[in-house]
Chain A
Amino acid sequence: MSTPDIIDTLAGIKPGSALDAIRARRLQARDNAQKSYLSLFEPIDAGDVSLLERAAVAAFVTGLHGESPVATFYREKLAASAGGAALLEAVEAEIARGKTSGPYGSFPSGPLSVENTAGLIYRVSAASKSVLGTRLVAALEHAHLLVFRPRDAASTDMKALLAAGWSNTGIVTFSQLVAFLSFQVRVVSGLRSLAAANA
């Protein structure tokens, strides 16, 4: 594959290292985590979710997880995207406003209600709205829900995305994007911790 393995790159895994050998034992997972990344950021069809939207959501989602090589990578990706530089400041401001600790949220009403935990219901600031536009405003608000309080998700959240101009297919790709990044940022963090423990 021409693009270097993104998880290895972000986790600092060098060819021939012990973690390289361990990752090689799950070659299909390694190759397909890479294909997931490529399908999301170099799609054969970006008709339902633009490349700029993907980059903006990725910078926001990884930024919400805190400063890390992953967050830096996606911030730079947004800055390098066509139209991205104009969004960077707003996305960074929204990351600062949206940062909190999760997961929190509510369970279906019943015995689990005692575990309900209140937390930030994030909404994009008025100042950022005009910069980001309707679709990205809805996307960032939904992405924040997915990152911090996925158990709060409801059918009304799908209606909000549809009303903001997202298609059914666009919602699937966008949801995969946020969910994939939630995976990627954790694998990288976990592998980095393991490498550090062995250093």
Chain B
Amino acid sequence: MSATVNPPVVFTQDELGWVSWIEPLPEAALTERHFAGLVDRARAKSEYFRLLVRDPEVLEARTKTDKDIFYNTADGLPRAERELAAAATSRYNGCIYCASVHARFASTYSKRREDVQKLLDEGVNADLGERWNAVVKASVALAATPIAFGPDNIAELRSAGLDDAEIVDVINGASFFNWANRLMLSLGEPSK
């Protein structure tokens, strides 16, 4: 845990740090069981992952779920729009850290940095064109409690050109960030 924290007060595509509010495991205490949980050994350098690795089995399963939903682009929704679903969910739930990471990815893969910034600046009602609007709206409807996602969202996604497999990628990506946002927001805080 670092001495000084400088929390961001706006949504940004800048790189942010993250500081835990409870004790991560020290790197020296990690065993092979923990490294299996981290999946990537390099994640031992991250305070966030050294905290989550306190429950290695759950972290390993969470990480492999995450990677397949976002990185398996053999078919289905383009990576940019999966990242858009993650960024929109994070914007709506209020996770400045998660939004920063996935807004950056959305910008990188879509080459539409200005539109991504518009989502961060104006919020989930920003007009980003039919296809992105449909993805953002579906992600927001899924993030609401009670869940507001329904036939209208599916009709809009279809009308924007998404097939059922791509719609499932939106559902998976947006739903996953309801998992990720809650961990990032509640176990620590971002720092500039």
Contact = CB atoms under 8 A, between A and B. Distances in A.
A26 B68 contact: yes
A8 to B, nearest CB: 13
Nearest to A105: B94
**Interface range, B side:** 35 or more
Nearest to B63: A32
B9 A111 contact: yes
A44 B9 contact: no
B58 A103 contact: no
A40 B34 CA distance: 16
Chain A contact-residue range equals 35 or more
Interface stretch (B100-108, B110-118, B126-134, B181-189): B181-189
A186 B174 contact: yes
A146 B93 CA distance: 10
A31 B95 CA distance: 27
A24 B114 CA distance: 35
Contacts of B14: none
Given A26-B72, A36-B65, A176-B52, A101 B179 contact: no
Nearest to B180: A179
A183 B164 contact: no
A176 B55 contact: yes
A189 interface: yes
A191 interface: yes
B123 interface: yes
B9 A172 contact: no
A182 interface: yes
Interface in A12-31: 18-19, 22-23, 25-29, 31
Contact of B62 (A25, A108, A153, A176): A176
Contacts of B61: 32-33, 35-36, 39
Contacts of B62: 32, 36, 176, 180
Given A25-B165, A150-B182, A186 B8 contact: no
Given A155-B189, A171-B187, A194-B154, 11 more contacts: A25-B74, A29-B72, A66-B147, A102-B145, A108-B96, A151-B95, A153-B186, A168-B23, A190-B174, A191-B168, A196-B151
Interface of A: 18-19, 22-23, 25-29, 31-33, 35-36, 39-40, 43-44, 64-66, 101-103, 105, 107-112, 115, 142, 145-148, 150-151, 153, 155, 157-158, 162, 168-169, 171-173, 175-176, 178-180, 182-187, 189-191, 193-194, 196-198
The 8 closest A-B pairs by CB, nearest first: A151-B94, A110-B9, A190-B171, A153-B186, A29-B68, A28-B68, A186-B175, A183-B179
